[in-house]
Structure 1
Amino acid sequence: MLSFLLSTLLLTSAPPKTDWRTPYERGNGNTTTTYAECIRYYQQLDAAYPEITMRAAGFSDNGLPLHEVVVSLDGDADPASVRAKGRRVVFIQNGIHPGEPEGIDAAMMLARDYVQQKKLRQQLTHVTLVIIPVYNVDGSLNRNSTTRTNQNGPESYGFRGNPRNLDLNRDYIKQDSRNARSFAQLFQRWQPDVFVDTHTSNGADYQHVMTLIATQKDKLHPALSQYMQRQLLPALYSGMAKRNTPMTPYVDFEGRTPDARGLRGFLETPRYSTGYTTLFNTIGFVTETHMLKAYAPRVKAQYDFLELLVQAVGQQKDALAQARTEAQQQLQTQTTFPLAWKLDTTAAEKTAFLGYEGRLKPSDVSGQPRLYYDRKAPFSRQIPYYNTFRPTVQVQRPVAYLIPQAWGEVVDRLRLSGVQLRRLRRDTTLTAEVYYIQDYKTGQRPYEGHYLHSAVELRPTQQPLAFRQGDYVALLDQPAARYLIETLEPQATDSFFAWGFFDGILQQKEYFSDYVFEDVAATLLRQDPALRERLEKLKQQNPAFAASGAAQLDWIYRQSPHYEQTHLRYPVARWLGGALPTVE
């Protein structure tokens, strides 16, 4: 009797079994976890399972930490150690747009299932999973139910902008946010093989729950591009189809409806997450679940895709490793790099598309014809998919870039992205190739806090330049070579020049008073007959110039020693060859 009472007492005092359901799973299928709930849940997983490590990985703009979660069967959460073991690294980022939260909820369930389900655990035998639970910490705290106007749930969600009203998926190069700077350091530590950024798509109506942006194939190194197209993407598309969630490429199109002219590939430049990761030979995916589907199937689609990706990477680990190694090795000898691209509208493949017929009817608002998608008229068609891009601007690789230390904001960003920098040991004069900005266009309205430059025209020239002790040298024989080229070549789409980091060179600092310079100009023309001949020729060719005394004075000034040589001279020089004996 005593033993029975003791056993009963022990049973009644045993702690309750942990409820490992996520906040989403405990809800009604149309709710998403809050930021606090998400972090607390991962902390509980970390405390309960040695395979899961959660830690701070820098800060966000509001001072709260950016977290990383590492799922590794042997508990190894050290990036260098994981790579030394030959494991492939899959990096998942959630909540860059917190109003698109499916990935947040899906990744929480996936991390739990990897440690609780024996069958799923096997997928991590050769793979380490890294998860950013919520990237836009600040936006996730700004919850509402209205800003995603066209979206079908969840009941409440975060806001796209962060406290500085930045869209963080335009910030990977300029790194105005602390989030982006923290991400760059975390990404460089892990150097992942595959990166995924989870989103929800706006746009047309169609039957697909999931659409996908894969790293634009022509921007990837050929070895990685072939692997992605021939092995990884087929596994993902067939796997999702088997789970009754057939995918289609991201629905970006011209015309009234997607089937009118077909889909267009999305060119992710380095301002975007997968455009940035591509610069380091990382395959990138942006998952885009469809806004008009109910929230529960959208979460399931994200979960299925992420799980299938980890499975495929594990199964294809050797092919992925070989392709990535080849890409990294050949980067060292690549001589020509594309900087800008244009869609080839003559090259199209066919893709299966499950859509709805687009029709017109009178608008209840304006009375004018308006588009609607007739869900009573679904269709399945093969439609054109234009996904071939041709380079429009290319540059020859220099041996190194010479960067004056005065441009500290640029140097800081180079370091955050893993660039290896050396410094000059003493003041010296070096003859290098420099650019003069001949022309450019600037956006008339601010874009993500900057006035972007484009259509940059350059005049390259060789000239001796004075450098100071401590100025920087970035040699191109390093893994960050492509990143260096696409940020430091001013004509690149997302270069630091394009984002306005070098705007100081665009403003002239000295000038002249015309009544004084008139006599100086006359003396210059008398002393230099060739200069006068060039002036007369310009006057003959351009009547407006001939009629403007001010324009002629300005032209003579710009040809004279009085004109400042640094005006419009891009400060980063290209070292084209030879030793740099003064570099430490």
Structure 2
Amino acid sequence: MKLLQHLVLALLLFATPTFIIAQDIMPPTIPWNGKSKELLVDKSEKWVTPFELSDGLESPTYAETMAWIEKLVANSEYLELVTAGTSEQGRPIKLVIGSKNKEFGSDKLSTSSKPLIFFQAGIHAGEIDGKDAGMMLLRDISQGNKIGLLDNANLLFIPILNVDGHERRSEYGRVNQRGPKEMGWRTNAVNLNLNRDYTKLETAGIQAVTEVINSYDPDLYIDIHVTDGADYQYDITYGYVATGGYSPEISSWLSTKFQPEVDQALKDQGHIPGPLLFAANGNDFSAGNVAFSFSPRFSHTYGDIRHMASILIENHSLKPFEQRVLGTYVFLEQAIKSLGNHYAALQKAVESDSNQPKESIPVKFKFRDTPADSMEFLGIASSKVKSEITGAEYVKWEGKPVTQSVPSIFMDVPELSVSVPKAYWVPVEWTDVTTKLKQHGIQFETINEAREVNVELSTVTSFSMGNQPYEGLMRVQRFELDKTYRKLTLNPGSVRVPTDQALGELAVILLEPESVDSFFQWGYFNSIFSQTEYMETYIMEPLIAKMLSEDADLKMLFEEEKASNPDFAKSPRTIYSWFYKQTPYFDQNWKVIPVGREW
């Protein structure tokens, strides 16, 4: 009997539990029957996509996606497929190129008189709408009646950027998202978030993206996501650096030329476009919508600092997968048309932003003192319900459209700006930094023989580290700096980074320690915090006595320090350390950030 009981208990403990699929218990959705459904082809069509075959419920695997695209490219003289990079698990990151002139090389496309649009899907692999929309659009261009789109612009398309995350797929990929049936994972194979990597370049995916940008020089860059968060009526939300950025003329082009046409196209096809939406209170929009100032670690802000028109699409996760994919198709099709229609104006904007003065640039932004204005918000009715499980209140979405007036809260006021030097110097030993500068496409001069330079250096006088790793790195958080000039002898292989170049602002963002996305704050110079030479008390006692007897000024400083700082006077170790710092034996490079400014 006991044996039977043990067997039953073991079965209960180790049996696979049956979970409720989150999509079955999501908030109710508003019925939708948009005109864009006419974009779907019949299942009997030769070039029907796996998405269409599944009635808009599923997205194909990496292997299925690539097999379909390879077949499509092989049957079109206007498409070519190349490898942009290789993932951490060894999967090729594929790039589809579209050209009416059949010119597929980066040398031709980067200098073409026709604009170039670069759109990518699956940077967060569960947010895969852009892949399926792009497959349909490429089908209709190369096999249907939309070849004329290639008269407007040449195309670059990465259908799956985070290819390893894409294959970590299951029905339990994203608990807050309504489809597809199986979804990939947000981060890559080593658990890094690609859309936090645009400055530090630690992932194969973003290294591939920067290589594409540097080689092909696209005019418009679109990164396609699916958002989480509160419910609302909008199905296709998107944004760009509208204010508080580094490319004001490009921002103006996006708001006056591009956005009105894209919004109208989406409305005409039965979609509801909207801005990027972030609830100020984290739950609903009663306290307003926050327009954050994203740092250049994010895709669209990275594009902004490079003076490349860049857009972040965030489709609404609670809308059905089919609706989101079709909306993305409409967006991309109109983006191609609008880029072609207004290319001359965009070129003028890029030239203006690229030639703007660079005496100083902001490296940190804060919120405005008061909300900018109120916006008409197409929301969803909600109520607050007290949980029987936790006792706390939570928001319950009711699936009924409401129109509200909510504050717009902008984070676009420069909080900290830095003066821009003539150049930066990076010693040869900091190879990780120079490698990343090169990957970004930043130009620099490498010296072939030792050179003495007079530069300004920053010494960290106090600091604290993050209490846990962020994106695999230990970031420097609160810190104070002291800036001094010093003559350095730099060895061959050291580099000089001029700021008077196309990516000069990006160089400042990466090399100025006050920048939230600097190599310093990301932790690439953390070894400077280690003190590796020490003093012994049996040496310091007679040395201090000799120093005091020979230097009256030092003795006066010592007495003043004791009088003003009781803790100092009570700590022999602190006293020894204070004197040690007055000697030439003390490490002059301790806590000195090894990036010099040339003025």
1:569 Cα deviation from its structure 2 partner: 0.8
Deviations 1:86-107 (A, max 9, x none): 2222111111111111111001
SS of residue in 2 equivalent to 1:183: helix
Q: 1:574 to 1:28 in 2, by over 3 A?
A: same
In 2: Cα distance, 1:200 partner to 1:413 partner: 29
Gaps of 5+ in 2: 1-43
Q: 1:204 to 1:281 in 2, by over 3 A?
A: same
Query: How do residues 210-359 of structure 1 correspond to structure 2 at under 5 angstroms?
Result: 210-255=236-281, 257-330=283-356, 333-359=357-383
- Are 1:124 and 1:314, in contact at CA under 8 Å, matched by a contact in 2? no
- Residue 482 (str. 1) matches residue 511 (str. 2): no
Query: CA RMSD, aligned part only?
Result: 1.8
- Are 1:193 and 1:282, in contact at CA under 8 Å, matched by a contact in 2? yes
In 2: Cα distance, 1:90 partner to 1:387 partner: 29
Query: How do residues 87-486 of structure 1 correspond to structure 2 at under 5 angstroms?
Result: 87-118=114-145, 120-255=146-281, 257-330=283-356, 333-376=357-400, 378-486=401-509
- Are 1:248 and 1:352, in contact at CA under 8 Å, matched by a contact in 2? no
1:536 Cα deviation from its structure 2 partner: 2.1
Query: Amino acid of the residue matched to residue 21 of structure 1?
Result: V
In 2: Cα distance, 1:362 partner to 1:435 partner: 53
- Residue 72 (str. 1) matches residue 72 (str. 2): no
- Are 1:456 and 1:490, in contact at CA under 8 Å, matched by a contact in 2? no
* Higher mean C-alpha deviation, range 536-545 or range 291-300: 536-545
1:156 Cα deviation from its structure 2 partner: 0.6
* Higher mean C-alpha deviation, range 526-535 or range 64-73: 526-535
Q: 1:237 to 1:387 in 2, by over 3 A?
A: farther
SS of residue in 1 equivalent to 2:463: strand
SS of residue in 2 equivalent to 1:498: helix
SS of residue in 1 equivalent to 2:404: strand
- Are 1:213 and 1:266, in contact at CA under 8 Å, matched by a contact in 2? no
1:144 Cα deviation from its structure 2 partner: 0.7
1:260 Cα deviation from its structure 2 partner: 1.4
- Are 1:215 and 1:283, in contact at CA under 8 Å, matched by a contact in 2? no
Q: 1:456 to 1:282 in 2, by over 3 A?
A: farther
Query: Amino acid of the residue matched to residue 208 of structure 1?
Result: Y
In 2: Cα distance, 1:18 partner to 1:360 partner: 48
Q: 1:275 to 1:441 in 2, by over 3 A?
A: farther
Q: 1:464 to 1:354 in 2, by over 3 A?
A: same
In 1: Cα distance, 2:576 partner to 2:458 partner: 25
In 2: Cα distance, 1:329 partner to 1:494 partner: 23
SS of residue in 1 equivalent to 2:355: helix
1:256 Cα deviation from its structure 2 partner: 6.0
1:210 Cα deviation from its structure 2 partner: 1.7
**Residue 23 of structure 1 is aligned with which of 50, 65, 81?**
50
Query: Amino acid of the residue matched to residue 539 of structure 1?
Result: K
**What corresponds to 2:8 in structure 1?**
none
Query: Amino acid of the residue matched to residue 485 of structure 1?
Result: V
Q: 1:394 to 1:288 in 2, by over 3 A?
A: same
- How many residue pairs get aligned? The number is 556
In 2: Cα distance, 1:443 partner to 1:46 partner: 48
- Are 1:70 and 1:130, in contact at CA under 8 Å, matched by a contact in 2? yes
Query: Amino acid of the residue matched to residue 52 of structure 1?
Result: L
* Higher mean C-alpha deviation, range 47-56 or range 225-234: 225-234
**What corresponds to 1:580 in structure 2?**
none
Query: Amino acid of the residue matched to residue 366 of structure 1?
Result: T
In 1: Cα distance, 2:316 partner to 2:248 partner: 31
Structure 1 length normalisation: TM-score? 0.91
- Are 2:307 and 2:350, in contact at CA under 8 Å, matched by a contact in 1? yes
**What corresponds to 1:534 in structure 2?**
557
Query: Amino acid of the residue matched to residue 483 of structure 1?
Result: L
- Are 2:292 and 2:411, in contact at CA under 8 Å, matched by a contact in 1? no
In 1: Cα distance, 2:456 partner to 2:393 partner: 58
Q: 1:151 to 1:234 in 2, by over 3 A?
A: same
Q: 1:256 to 1:338 in 2, by over 3 A?
A: closer
- Are 1:248 and 1:353, in contact at CA under 8 Å, matched by a contact in 2? no
Query: Amino acid of the residue matched to residue 571 of structure 1?
Result: P
- Are 2:236 and 2:273, in contact at CA under 8 Å, matched by a contact in 1? yes
Query: How do residues 518-529 of structure 1 correspond to structure 2 at under 5 angstroms?
Result: 518-529=541-552
Deviations 1:129-170 (A, max 9, x none): 111110001111111111311211111121112111111111
In 2: Cα distance, 1:382 partner to 1:70 partner: 44
Structure 2 length normalisation: TM-score? 0.89
* Higher mean C-alpha deviation, range 521-530 or range 430-439: 521-530
* Higher mean C-alpha deviation, range 29-38 or range 223-232: 223-232
In 2: Cα distance, 1:230 partner to 1:90 partner: 19
1:467 Cα deviation from its structure 2 partner: 0.7
SS of residue in 1 equivalent to 2:467: coil
- Are 1:456 and 1:491, in contact at CA under 8 Å, matched by a contact in 2? no
- Residue 54 (str. 1) matches residue 81 (str. 2): yes
Deviations 1:548-577 (A, max 9, x none): 22212211211221211110111111111x
In 2: Cα distance, 1:316 partner to 1:461 partner: 49
Gaps of 5+ in 1: 1-16, 577-584
SS of residue in 2 equivalent to 1:42: helix
Q: 1:423 to 1:361 in 2, by over 3 A?
A: closer
**What corresponds to 1:7 in structure 2?**
none
Query: Amino acid of the residue matched to residue 360 of structure 1?
Result: K
- Are 2:385 and 2:394, in contact at CA under 8 Å, matched by a contact in 1? yes
- Are 1:53 and 1:77, in contact at CA under 8 Å, matched by a contact in 2? yes
- Are 2:242 and 2:248, in contact at CA under 8 Å, matched by a contact in 1? no
1:388 Cα deviation from its structure 2 partner: 4.5
In 1: Cα distance, 2:390 partner to 2:210 partner: 48
- Are 2:283 and 2:395, in contact at CA under 8 Å, matched by a contact in 1? no
Q: Percent identity among equivalent residues? A: 30
Query: Amino acid of the residue matched to residue 287 of structure 2?
Result: R
SS of residue in 1 equivalent to 2:179: coil
Query: Amino acid of the residue matched to residue 530 of structure 2?
Result: Q
